[in-house]
Structure formats: structure tokens, C-alpha cells
Amino acid sequence: MLTREEILEIDRAISAVPYRKAACIEALKVVQTHRGWISDESLRTVAGYLEMSVDDLDSVATFYNLIFRKPVGRHVILLCDSISCWVMGYEQLRERLRDHLGIDYGETTADGRYTLLPNPCLGTCDCAPALMIDNDLYRKVTPEMLESILSKYL
Amino acid sequence: MPRIHIDHREYDVRPGRNLLETCLSLGFDLPYFCWHPALGSVGACRQCAVKAFANAEDTNGKLVMACMESVADGQRISIRDPQAVEFRENVIGWLMTNHPHDCAVCDEGGSCHLQDMTVMTGHAYRKFRFNKRTYRNQYLGPFLNHEMNRCIQCYRCVRFYKDYAGGHDLDAFASANRVYFGRSDDGVLENEFSGNLAEVCPTGVFTDKTLKQHYTRKWDLTSAPSVCVHCSVGCNTLAGERYGSLRLISNRYNGSVNGYFLCDRGRFGYEFVNVSSRIREPRIPVNTQGESWEEHVHKATEVFRGTRIVGIGSPRASLEANFVLSRIAGRGNFYHGVSSSEFELSKTASQILAKGTVPSLSLKDVEKCDVVVIWGEDVTNTAPMLALAVRQALRNRPMEKSIAANIPPWNDAATRERVQQERGPLVIGSYGTTRLDEVASMTFRASPGALSRVGCAVANQLDDAAPLAGTLDEEEQAVANEIVRVLRSARRPVIISGVSSGSMEVLQSAANMAEAVRRHNADTGLVLTFPACNSLGLALMEGRPFAELLHEEQDRRGTLIILENDLYRHADPRTVQKIVALFDHVIVIDHTWHETARNAQLVLPAGTFAESEGTFVNNEGRAQRYFQVYEPVNGIRESWRWLLTLGNALGVSQKGPWNSHDEIVRALAASADVFEPVMRVAPSANYRIYGQRIPRQPHRYSGRTAMSANRSVSEGKPPEDRDAPLSYTMEGTRLPPPSVAIPFFWWPGWNSVQSVAKYQDEVGGPLRGGDPGIRLLEPTSKAPLYFSVSAQKPPEVIVVPLHHIFGSEELSVLAPAIAERCPKPYLAAGPMTFGMHTADHGAVMRLEIHGRMLTLPVVVDPAMPKGVAGLPVGLPGMEYFELPASASVIMQLQNAE
Amino acid sequence: MEKPLTQHIRADGKPLSLNEYERVGGYSALRKVLSGMTPGDVLNVVKDSNLRGRGGAGFPTGLKWSFVPQDGPRPRYLICNADEMEPGTFKDRLLLECTPHQLIEGMIIAAFAIGADVSYVFLRWAYREAARIINVAIHEAQEAGYLGRNILGSGYDLAMHLHTGAGRYICGEETALLNSLEGKRAIPRAKPPFPQVSGLFGKPTIVNNVETLCCIPPIITHGAEWFRKLSLTSDAGTKIYGVSGKVKKPGAWELPMGVSLRELIEEYAGGMLDGHKFRGALPGGASTDFLVELDVKMDYSSVAAAGSRLGTGTVVVLDDRTCPVGFVRNLEQFFAQESCGFCTPCREGIPWIRNILTAMENGEGMPGDIDLLERHARGLGPGHTFCAFAPGAMEPLQSALRFFRDDFIRHIEEHTCPWREHPVNDHNSRGFVVPHLQTNYHAADTH
Ligand SMILES: Cc1cc2nc3c(=O)[nH]c(=O)nc-3n(C[C@H](O)[C@H](O)[C@H](O)COP(=O)(O)O)c2cc1C
Ligand code: SF4
Ligand code: FES
């Protein structure tokens, strides 16, 4: 079941395109924003609402790396792993996160607080290395800064 | 005609095609994967690279994908160019990085397009030294195996399943080199054409699960050209045998009929040939002695000699067998083994095709139509491949726009992107939901009476001369107007109807529509479906429906011969019992046990299509020959052969002596004008190519000397086929046989089904020498053939026949894989039919039809109009009811959960 | 120095509001267009201006617009490509976040020129701030009558929607972008037919980069000649250049087209970090060939003459304390990861390249590996793959093999990376799903 809020937001997306199906990526993001990830159940619900088959929708959903078809933690850390950040040493951030949180790419902390994912270039290469947590961008991050950044996300 | 240069030689080629199909048509071996002649090009695999040069001076050139380039006059390309050759080898190298190299244990091995292309490009050494990705496989139902690790990501499966066949539950998932083809989750592939994936997939990802249960390599199959027996479309098939069992049905290309595909009923229904309910030996009532089964039978039937002989023929038996039976029985004593209503409907349908003005269309013709009206049929369930053709026809109207935007139709992705969701007009008039509704521009769900009223009104609006059948209400009038509108807009309209609706009014009103449209548009076509593979053939023969035996003088007893028929599927049990009781002796010739056979005194085991030869007339009116795949063992004989034996034994003189199939065909052809062309459907048994027969076994057939070594080490003499120009061994001509007699597609370098191209005039065109089959019926009349349909007062509840691709057909449902997909008996009803609160999903109802009681769970079909209910036809465990019929007493036994 | 794109940008990096933008002359170009210019007039000015697309390929913008068939079907679409995901590129973010109305004004003018009815901004998901800003700006523009029905009383209607993506670099490829906007997998489309003829929803469509569209209002206001003269070379206008890597002051600046790479790095970026030497640079993002000379004018033709492409004009610097093989490995890892998976060479070839480079980095390179890499660089060239993604991915590889060949050989011969302390932690060699949380289709591990 979609919530009223979700339906409202999905309908808005539908109004911007010529047919329902075309709004499917937006609809998935709406549901993901509210629920954290796209479970099989959510997938079926959205597919039904957009009058498309579950397979059709899953085909689209699994193409995009920011649609999560598996559960994630309360906060998703997107660590830029592209060239400028690599040159500027993002690998140290990854090591530090692994030591600190005990998770590597694709993993979620046992307390369900963080999920760590690599992400292509965040478009802030002059301030490398960079990472995003949820909707917030952090630039020129050093391993030392990580702890205090993370502490903001409960 | 464009003139192009390939490796410095000039060729005149057909315009409007792409370079790949052009090169293949010219006979070049150019490798490819993602392109498919029926699916067009998308340019994904990059395998078909050639060098293109800007002009005669250009010596550098650039690589292009042949499948993505239109031919153009003056074009210069090279297939042999070293850079192109290197690139094509590289492509295989890339495809192979993750391929498991498991040919030895792969069902595709030996008929694998990937193997062929690998050899063709010369890729022989593996340079990739890293880990392969591995996938999880899925359970996809009883028809197909899934082995994703073999996938080369050509995207053909989704393009066929989703884009071409309209499936919803197979797709591409994930991305990059993790792309996965399958379902969102494990489960049965629902689409009725899923089996084609086994042929469409160029490697072993999707393979035939039924074959796996008795696996045989292509090179070890003894094969013959055959014709599907599971509906009236008559798709051409290749049937392969080993060790006395039928192992595989695959597509036999026929450009006019089934093209490259088959439906799942046709592909997987074959196992009825192998099941334990086969009749394998004659059942003879008295202790007889004899050397051979023939002698036994001869002795056993001596007592019948001199009695009156009555024959009941069959819509699933060949023309030849029916013909021999009709001659043994003699004039007036040959009956059609179909219900009286089916008899009238089939006769009428055959008259529409022969005496009307509208030609019946082949599936190929249907694909070219731009407006489709389906009247009273659920074609996906009654003539599945017709539904597939309709889906393609719906692309024509919108495609005019993409063509106008200079997008050639072979450019598949671009065409679909341009066309988006648009489809040409499809109007479906039906009793309830049909599988094609999802692509219909308009659906009209109605009772038979309302369908015929609207049909006649449409005809009348188009041509005053067409009679009306009652007055329309407002909704009906709107529907009629819309149909008239779309028909008037058509370039090539087709009206589809048939016998499966069970309703004469519906059939006749559809014919009226077609006749009336034809007044406006000479390109109008008609397609009528029939219940069985040779229904039309039988309908073209003389005779009456067998139920009329009841009305004959009761004292003329005698011998009843029932040919390939379970009468209980064509009449209610009391009627059948009464008819059978009229005779002293009852002989059944059939291949599978059923109620009729169990109650006969003498039962003779008939060959199935795989163990006999014969001719069927499909719904188009096309006579098609099928050939014996293997010699049956024990007492199994072709029906016609048993009939000859019986004729001799009973002392009935035919106009014979007929000893061979050819002789019967000749007599059949002479018996009526309509059958005259049957002579020319296939070459006679004497036909040879440079003195040689056409081998049923490929030249790589293995183990011949060993296969019967458990019985005897000396190799027995192979059986000789006296009825066909084919041999049962690998000996024979290596030249391509005439199109009707191709036992397998195989060409040097092309071991897979893709070798079909080598047998065609040009890629996707007719087979060399013309597509097999001869049409027996062409419209003869200049004046329209209109029927006056009488408006009848509808009963309160009318029960109509419903059909299931998996279940309604007698033989295929014996195949375990098909049986798994067969629904349980039920009663379908609209939400309004039995009153809203009573008819709920799952409620158990008791109703009376024709004085017989029936208790069934209800399935609610929201599309069914008030006053209509439906009964699935032919499901195992369901008795015969003549439908449509009124249902009177209704009682609810149990509420829905 | 004139900076028509960035001159009004606020020092605090906050976006110019509608009022602020109007106060500095914003939307006057649009008014000029709608009060008397025909679409043909606009097209001619843009053609004359010699504006070339800033999305990476440098295709002449006016020419592209002229391919829209005037009798073609409707609706027509204008799309702003704001998917900026090319590694090393951060120029569009600047414009999106700081001067949203200039983009919107440019879009409206462009839409008017091609007769578009609907326009979309296709914005990558990660630009959260930009999404908020553009949304506000579209809303403001609507309220002010610059968007919607009968714009400024001209009778011209245009709807504008913001679409944010769901990840994946290939969405920036214009035809993949179209599929993504249609709610499909972002697989590129074959060309022809070009989007101008059959684009979004099968209708005529123009896709332009953010920076390209931001150039339009000043071109209309000041004229084609003025725009051409902004440049130091034959390619017109200014360009937003950027530098990242081990330089003292990485950043982005609007400069006349044609400044030299040397000026960019030594002056604007303040030179190399102490103790680091310049070894080479990607002049315009991850899919361009290395330049190892500094005296190259940064315009389309000069960079091409030097054997690379201007691309996005955002420079990524390779220094002497960074391993060139590791550098290329990182790029190829990106490309392997981001391939859409449609065509064979790209889907299978790039992961193979990545694997070879990983092996080299981990001291497991083998003789013959360089040949294999070269064979791939040739094999994945332009026209061989379905879209320009893979040829782009080959550019840094092929040029690295030329300029830093000795480093590749050293990796193989010394069985180690001279720069690296720990082996590459390559999640791709441990199974493919892990980083993506997408599917259950894969076996846990590779074999
Ligand atoms: C793989 C790939 C990624 C691309 N990504 C972008 C992008 O993120 N933003 C962009 O403006 N253009 C991108 N492009 C270029 C676009 O395809 C297209 O050429 C451009 O948006 C056209 O705009 P322009 O003419 O204004 O440059 C990409 C091209 C390729 C092949
Ligand atoms: S069942 Fe009918 S449609 Fe299917 S393959 Fe057989 S003849 Fe063809
Ligand atoms: S057949 Fe041409 S690219 Fe696949």
C-alpha cells in the first residue's frame, strides 16, 4: 500500500510525463525516500500503481545504482571513488571507515545505522576527497574528520 | 536495385534491407548474435562488423555493424578486411570471458550458434585469465531450463519475449557486466510462446526442459518434417526421435505459416507420443493365432465379415485415413467424428472460405494487416500462433510514421522508440476476457446474440445488402459505429472468427462483416479457426455428424469403426453409449487409451503423427504433409494401414488395391476436385535426388552399430520407407531437399537452427522452391455471401465455451509439462451473472445444462457481461456439453472463502 | 576580462535569486527574443556565434538545433543535460548552484528557437543542493510569467520540469538520457535516427549541456560577434575550466576560450603542490587522452591537434608521486562499473582491462598484458561500440600506454607497483553485486 503522501508525490511525477510508466524511476525514488529501500513488496505496489509488470519495473530498478533493492542502514554513506578523489587519497577514508564502522562497500553496520557504498565522481573534484551522507555533501574530508562527521547521523 | 561491392565484387541487392541480411542472403558467412530475422537489429553484440569504404579511393575504411547499415547503391564493404576479421574474433573473445565453456554438458552443444560463430571467427585460444562472474539460475516452470552463466547478453530473449510476444515476466536486470536475463523472481514463465526462447537464445541459457528428460544431441536425432497436431493453424515442425521415443519438437520454418516460431502447446505437447497411456498392441477379443499382428487382426475380424460397416472419422486424423475409412464404410456410412454443432459450424466455415469472396489469410498475410477485428474468439487459446501474428500486425499502422521519419523497419529499437506505445486498431468482440485484450483498441464483451447483432449491423452499415439481425441498443450501436470507422480506415483489414465460439450466429455475422468490408477494400482478408488440426480437411469430405446415427433405423446393426477419436469429447455420454450400443462390433483405431477405446471390442494401435505420414488441411485451407519420423514397434501401424488391413479382412473392396500411401493420395486426389492438389503437396515415395533418398539422420549420427547391441551385435537392416522419399538412416543425399521434405536444418559451419537462412531464397523469405503446403480453397464467388442471422431471444443465463491453450486440446494435455499448466475445471461468470453477492470467486455452484447437473467452483471474470457464464472446454475430467447452452437451475453450495 | 557566465555569481556561493538576476539584466535576452525575434532569428544568431556544445563533444549548437524538422510531430522537447558525472568534472555544478536563472533563461530561448513545448532539466541525483535551487528557480520563473502559458504575452507556451536521476554515469549520454527520462533502463540509442528527429517519447528533441545553455542569454543580448571575440582562438566564447589533483589551488574559473594548459595549472591553480612534479593531465575529464605538454591552447581544435579532446575542459592532473597505472586503473574501474551493459566490447572488454590493470598494480602483471591492453584500446575505438562511452574510456588508456609505457613495463617486470603499499582492495574481484544492493541474481562469489 502506498501512503497518501507517496501517492501525491508519485502523481506529481506522473503529471510531468505522457504516460504513467514513464514516471517509474521517480516513483521508485519517492518510495525509497519514505522507506529507505525498495522491497519486493514496495516493488509490486509501485508496479501496480503504474500499471506495469513487476518484472518490467524491477528491470529498471536494478539498472540504477541509487535505487536500493536490498535494505540499507538509516544513513547511506556514498564515498566518491573516482579519479580526483583517488589522487587525493580517498582510499584512506575507506580504510578508516572500515576500521571505525567495521563495514566495507555494500555492507551495513550491525546496528543498522550506516551503509557504505562507493559512488562515482561527486562533482566536487577541486575539494577532493569527498563523500555524501544522505543528502549532505562533505568536501576535503580527511580521515581525522570522519568520526565527528559520522556522529551527526544517529 | 542497389548495386553494392563486397570485397571488390559487385552484387545487385534488394533495397531497404540492412547489410547483414543482405550478406547472408548472398550466401556470405557473416557472424551475428543480436540480430534475428524476425526481430530485426539493435546493434548490441557488435559481432557483424564489416569494413565500409567511403568510395573507390578510400583504402582505410571504417568498421561498421552490418546489421545497422542500410544497403545503398554504390556502397563498398569488405568482410575479409583484416581489421574486421580481427575485431570479429575479439568480440567472441569478449563474449567468452564469462562463458563457462561447458559445451560437453550443455544441451545446446552441437546445435549452438555460439559454437558456430566461435569457429567461424577463428577464436581458438583463451586469453582471459581472471575470474568469471557467476549467476544464480531460476526455476522457470515446466518448459524451460535456465543456465545464466552461459549468457552472452545478446538481448534476444527479452526482445522476443517482451517486445515480440508481449510477455510481461522476463526481462533484463542489473547493468554493466552483471546484466541478468530472467524473471524478477523464480516462477513459471507465463507467456504462451516462451518455448521459442530455446531457439531464439543463441547459446544454452534457455533450453527445452522436456528434451532434458531424455536428452539427445541434435546429431543423434532421427528427424522428419512434421505438422503440429495441436490446433488448426498447422505450424510446421521438426520432430526428432531416438531409441523409439520422440525427443524434441522444434520449429520448421515456413514463411507463410509459422515463420520462425511455435507456441508452447505445439512445442511441448509432443510427449503424448511417449506416455504410458499409449495403445501399444492390438487388443483382440478372441484367441487368435497368426504370424503377424495383421494375421491376428484378419482372423479376429472374420466374424465381422459381411456386416454393414459404419465409419466415424476424425478431425485429428489425416485426410488419407479418413478417406480410406470413408471408402471402406461406403457412401452414406461415413460419419464425421464431431458434434453436430461443430459439424455445422465447420461446414459453414468451409463454405465461407470456398464460396465467399474473401480469401483466407496465412499468418504471414495477417502480419501485414493494419486493422484487426476478432469476433468471438480467444485466439491465444484456440490458435495461439495467430495471436502472435496479430500482435505483429498491430505494429503496422504506427510504423508508417517511423518509416516516414526514415527509420527502416529492421531498425527495431529505433522503430519502437519512435512508435512508443502506439498500436494499430484491434477490436475484440468476445464473451469475456481474452489474452489479447491488453493490446486491443476496443473490447466488446457480449453474449453470442449481441455479438451477431453487432456484427450484422456493421456489415449492414458497410453494405445495405447485408441483412440485419435485430435492433441494437445504444452501447451496441456505438460499438458498431466504431468498428465501421476502423474498418473504413484500413489499408488491409482482417476479420478473425471461427468455430471455437461454438456459435453459428457469431461465425455468420463475422463472415458478413468480412464480405461487406470486402465491398470497400479488395485487400480484406478473413481468418477462421477450427478446433483440430484437420477439422477443415474433414469438413471438406462427405458425411454427416455421428450423432445422427441415433436417428437412423435402429435395427441395422453391424460393425462400427471409430478412427482416432474419443467420441466422449464430441457428445454427451448417454448419446455415445446409445450409438455404440447400436452396433454388434466396435473397432477403435487410435494411439491413446480413452473412454471410447476402452469400451471397444477390438482396439488397434495407431501411429501418432510421429509414426505415420499424412496430410492435414489447416485453417487457412492449406494442405500440408507430415512424414513418419520413425517406424513404430510392436503392433503400432499408421491408421490408414490398419484400415487397409481391416478392409481386406472385412472383405470390403475398395477401389484399390491400395498398398502404399502414394496410392491412397492418388485416389483421394481423384475423389473430389477440392482434393486434387493434394497430389502435389509432397513428392512421391519414388522421388530421389541423383538416385538418393533424403536421410532422416544427419551425417554425424552416432552409435548406430551399438544402439541395439544389447539385443544383437549384428547390425540389423534398417527399415525401408515405402511411403516417403526419406531414408531412416544417415545415408542419402547431402543436397538440400525440396522444402516440404526438409528433415533438419543443417549447413556446413551452421549447426544451429540459424542455418535456416541457407534454405531460404533470401533471409526471412520463403524457403527455396516455395513454402510448403498448397491452398485448397480460394474464394470463387463474385457476389458476397451473406447469411441471414436470426435473432433469438437469449436465455437468462447462457453458458459459452472457453478455451485453454494448456488443457483444452485432447493430446497435448497428456504431456506432463502441459498438464502442469492446465487449470482445474471451473465455471467462469461475470460479477453480474449470478447476482453480485452469490457469484464470488471460489464459491461452488451447482447448475444444470441440457438436463445434466454440474458442480464447479466459480472464477469471476470481471469482463463477462450479465447473463453470460463460461465453461472451459475439454479439460481432463470435464464431460462434453454442447455450448453455448442455457443454464437453468442454479444453486450455491458453498460460499467463497 | 568578460565573464558572461559567472560575473554575477555571489561571493558566498549562494544562488542568485530571481530579483537579483533581473537586477543585473536577467531575462532581458528572453524579452528581446519574445518581442520580435522569430525562432529562425534566434537560430541564426546562435549559429553565427559559433557556440560549440560544452557537454564534451563540442558539436556546433546552432547546427544541432537546425536539424529539428519544422514540420515534425509535436510535442517537441528541450532537455538540459545536467547529469555531470564525468570524473574530474565539476563545472555544471557551479552554474546550477550559483546562477540557476541564467540556465532557465537559456533553456527558454533555446526551446523557443526549436519550437519546443516541454522542457526538462535532467539532474544527477547527487546534486541535492542544485535540485533544491533549480526547483525554486523554476517556481520563481513560473510565477514571474517566464514559463507556462503565453510567456510574457508572446503566445509562446513552455512547461519545464526538473527530473533527478537515480545514478549511473551513462545517463549523461544524450540518448541514454532520453531512455532514462522515459522511465527505462538508460541504454543508449542507435543513431540515426538522431534525437532531433526521434527523441524523447519518439518526438523531436534537443539535448544541451548546462554550460551551453547558459551561454545563450549573453549571446542574444550582446550578439554573435561579441561572443566570438570573447575567445582567444577560433572557438568562440568563454569556458569554465577547472583543475583538480595535486595542485596548490584546485578550482574552477571562467576564462576566455583558448587559455593554455600552462596558465591554467601554473597561474590559476597556483602550480603543483610542493614536492610534486607535473607528469601529465587529462584536459577534459576521464574520457580524454593525456596531455604531457603544458603549452597547449585549451580550445577544441588545439587540444585535438595535440592528440586529445577538450572534453569538459576540467583538467585532472597526474603528478610524479601518483602511479600512472593506478591512475588509469581507477578510471577503468569507473568505466567498467558504469558501462550500461548493452554492447559486447564495452561490457566485457573494460572489466578485462580493469582486471589487467589491477593485476599489474598488485604485482601480478604478465608479459603480454601490454599487448592485450593495446588490443583492447584498438578494439573499443570509435564506431566499434554502440555509443561513445567505451571509446572515451580508451582515451586515457591508449595515451597512458604511449606516454607512461615504462611505468607499465616496470609494474610487470618488478612484480609490484613502485608507488603502492597495499594491494588494491578491488571489490569487483570479490563478486559483483556487493557494492550495488541491486539484485539477488548473482552467486556470492566468482569462480
Ligand atoms: C558516456 C557519455 C557521458 C556523457 N555525459 C554527459 C554529461 O554528464 N553532461 C553533458 O552535458 N553531456 C554529457 N555527454 C555528452 C552528451 O551526450 C551530449 O553530447 C551533450 O549533452 C550535448 O550537449 P552539448 O551539445 O550542449 O554539448 C556524455 C556523453 C557520453 C558519451
Ligand atoms: S498448437 Fe497451433 S499454433 Fe501452436 S504450434 Fe501447434 S499448430 Fe502452431
Ligand atoms: S548482429 Fe550486428 S551488432 Fe549484433
B169 inside domain: yes
Q: Does residue B826 share a domain with residue B889?
A: yes
Write the residue in A68, A83, A121 that is nearest to C85 by C-beta. A121
Predicted ipTM of the assembly: 0.95
pLDDT at residue B715, rounded to an integer: 82
Q: Does residue C144 share a domain with residue C269?
A: no
Domain boundary among B469, B503, B530: B530
| Weakly modelled stretches of chain B, pLDDT under 50 | none
Angle of helix C389-403 versus helix C405-414 axis, rounded to 10: 80
Q: Does residue C246 share a domain with residue C209?
A: no
Q: What is the pLDDT of residues C201-243, one digit of tens each?
A: 999 999 999 999 999 999 999 999 999 999 999 999 999 999 9
d(CA B552, CA B555): 9
Question: How many cross-chain Cβ pairs, A to C, lie less than 8 Å apart?
Answer: 174
Least Cα distance to B181 among B202, B209, B158 occurs for B158
Q: Confidence band (pLDDT; 50, 70, 90) for C292?
A: very high
The residue type of B176 is A
pLDDT at residue B471, rounded to an integer: 92
Pick from C174, C177, C216 the residue to mutate for probing ligand 1's pocket: most ligand atoms within 8 Å of its CB. C174
B427 vs C444 pLDDT, higher one: B427
- Contact between B533 and B232 (Cβ < 8 Å): yes
> Over its length of 154 residues, how does chain A's per-residue pLDDT go in tens digits?
999 999 999 999 999 999 999 999 999 999 999 999 999 999 999 999 999 999 999 999 999 999 999 999 999 999 999 999 999 999 999 999 999 999 988 899 999 999 999 999 999 999 999 999 999 999 999 999 999 999 999 9
Q: Which of residues 162-191 of B touch A (CB under 8 A)?
A: 162, 168-175, 180, 183-185
Q: Which residues are bridge partners to A76 per DSSP?
A: A115
Task: Write phi, then psi, for C294 (nearest 5 degrees).
Answer: -90, -20
Overall number of domains in chain B: 4
Give A75-153's CATH code, choosing from 3.40.30.10, 3.90.650.10, 3.10.105.10, 2.30.38.10: 3.40.30.10
Q: Does residue C130 share a domain with residue C38?
A: yes
Task: Write phi, then psi, for B749 (nearest 5 degrees).
Answer: 85, -10
B254 inside domain: yes
Domain boundary among B465, B499, B530: B530
What CATH architecture applies to the domain A4-63?
Orthogonal Bundle (1.10)
Please determine, for residue C447, whether its predicted confidence score (pLDDT) is greater than 70. no
Q: Which of residues 269-298 of C touch A (CB under 8 A)?
A: 282, 286
Q: Does residue C135 share a domain with residue C263?
A: no
The domain in which residue C27 lies consists of 18-229
pLDDT at residue C445, rounded to an integer: 41
Domain boundary among B530, B553, B574: B530
Pick from B192, B196, B229, B233 the residue to mutate for probing ligand 2's pocket: most ligand atoms within 8 Å of its CB. B233
Q: Does residue C439 share a domain with residue C383?
A: yes
Which triple of cell numbers denotes residue C443? 552467486
| C183/A120 touch (CB, cutoff 8 Å), yes or no | no
Residue B590 is classified by DSSP as: E
| B421/A19 touch (CB, cutoff 8 Å), yes or no | yes
Q: What is the pLDDT of residues B218-267, one digit of tens each?
A: 999 999 999 999 999 999 999 999 999 999 999 999 999 999 999 999 99
- Contact between C113 and C76 (Cβ < 8 Å): no
Q: Does residue B145 share a domain with residue B55?
A: no
Residue B159 is classified by DSSP as: I
Q: Does residue B174 share a domain with residue B148?
A: yes
Min Cα distance A42 → chain C (Å) is 14
d(CA C276, CA C279): 9
Q: Does residue C337 share a domain with residue C300?
A: no
CATH number at residue C335: 1.20.1440.230
Q: What is the pLDDT of residues C416-425, one digit of tens each?
A: 999 988 888 7
What percentage of chain C carries pLDDT values higher than 70?
A: 95
Which triple of cell numbers denotes residue C81? 543535460
Least Cα distance to B538 among B427, B706, B668, B679 occurs for B668
pLDDT at residue C236, rounded to an integer: 96
pLDDT at residue B290, rounded to an integer: 76
C7 inside domain: no
Q: Does residue C132 share a domain with residue C76?
A: yes
Locus of grid cell 506529481: A12
Question: How many cross-chain Cβ pairs, B to C, lie less than 8 Å apart?
Answer: 153
The gap from C-alpha B407 to its chain's centroid, in whole angstroms, comes to: 32
CATH number at residue B811: 2.40.40.20
Domain ranges of chain A: 4-63, 75-153
Q: For chain C, what is the HEC assignment? A: CCCCCCCCCCCCCCCCCHHHHHHCCCCHHHHHHHCCCCHHHHHHHHHHHCCECCCCCCCEHHHHHHCCCCCCCCCCEEEEEECCCCCCCCHHHHHHHHCHHHHHHHHHHHHHHHCCCEEEEEECCCCHHHHHHHHHHHHHHHHCCCCECCHHHCCCCEEEEEEECCCCHHHHCHHHHHHHHCCCCCCCCCCCCCCCCCCHHHCCEEEEEHHHHHHHHHHHHHCHHHHHHCCCCCCCCEEEEEEECCECCCEEEEEECCCEHHHHHHHHCCCECCCCCEEEEEECECCCCCECCCCCECCHHHHHHCCCCCCCCEEEEEECCCCHHHHHHHHHHHHHHHCCCCCHHHHHHHHHHHHHHHHHHCCCCCCCHHHHHHHHHHHCCCCCCCCCHHHHHHHHHHHHHHHCHHHHHHHHHHCCCCCCCCCCCCHHHHCCCHHHCCCCCECCCCC
Q: Confidence band (pLDDT; 50, 70, 90) for C440?
A: low
**The overall pTM is greater than 0.95:** yes
Q: Does residue B368 share a domain with residue B264?
A: no
The residue type of B18 is N
- Interface probe with B: pick from A42, A50, A55, most Cβ of B within 10 Å: A55
Q: Does residue C422 share a domain with residue C334?
A: yes
Write out the H or E segment, with its range, that includes residue B344.
Answer: helix B340-355
The domain in which residue B85 lies consists of 3-95
Q: Does residue C160 share a domain with residue C36?
A: yes
C368 inside domain: yes
Overall number of domains in chain C: 3
C10 inside domain: no
- Interface probe with C: pick from B92, B130, B152, B423, most Cβ of C within 10 Å: B130
C286 inside domain: yes
Quickly list DSSP for B667-699. Answer: HHHHH-GGGGGGGGSS--TT--BTTBPEESS-T
B182 inside domain: yes
pLDDT at residue B299, rounded to an integer: 87
d(CA B568, CA B547): 11
Residues on chain B touching A62 (C-beta within 8 angstroms): 173-175, 180
Q: Does residue C179 share a domain with residue C97?
A: yes
Q: What is the pLDDT of residues C117-175, one digit of tens each?
A: 999 999 999 999 999 999 999 999 999 999 999 999 999 999 999 999 999 999 999 99
Q: How many residues does chain C have?
A: 447
Q: Does residue C251 share a domain with residue C206?
A: no
Q: Does residue B504 share a domain with residue B362?
A: yes
Q: What residues contact A90, with CB distance under 8 A and at least 6 apart?
A: A79, A80, A81, A128, A129
Q: Does residue B376 share a domain with residue B259?
A: no
| A123/C128 touch (CB, cutoff 8 Å), yes or no | no
d(CA B583, CA B333): 13
B833 inside domain: yes
Domain boundary among C203, C229, C255: C229
| A29/C164 touch (CB, cutoff 8 Å), yes or no | yes
B209 lines ligand 2 (CB under 6 A): no
The residue type of C18 is L
Domain boundary among C270, C304, C319: C319
Tell me whether C433 touches chain A (CB under 8 Å). Answer: yes
Q: Does residue C251 share a domain with residue C196?
A: no
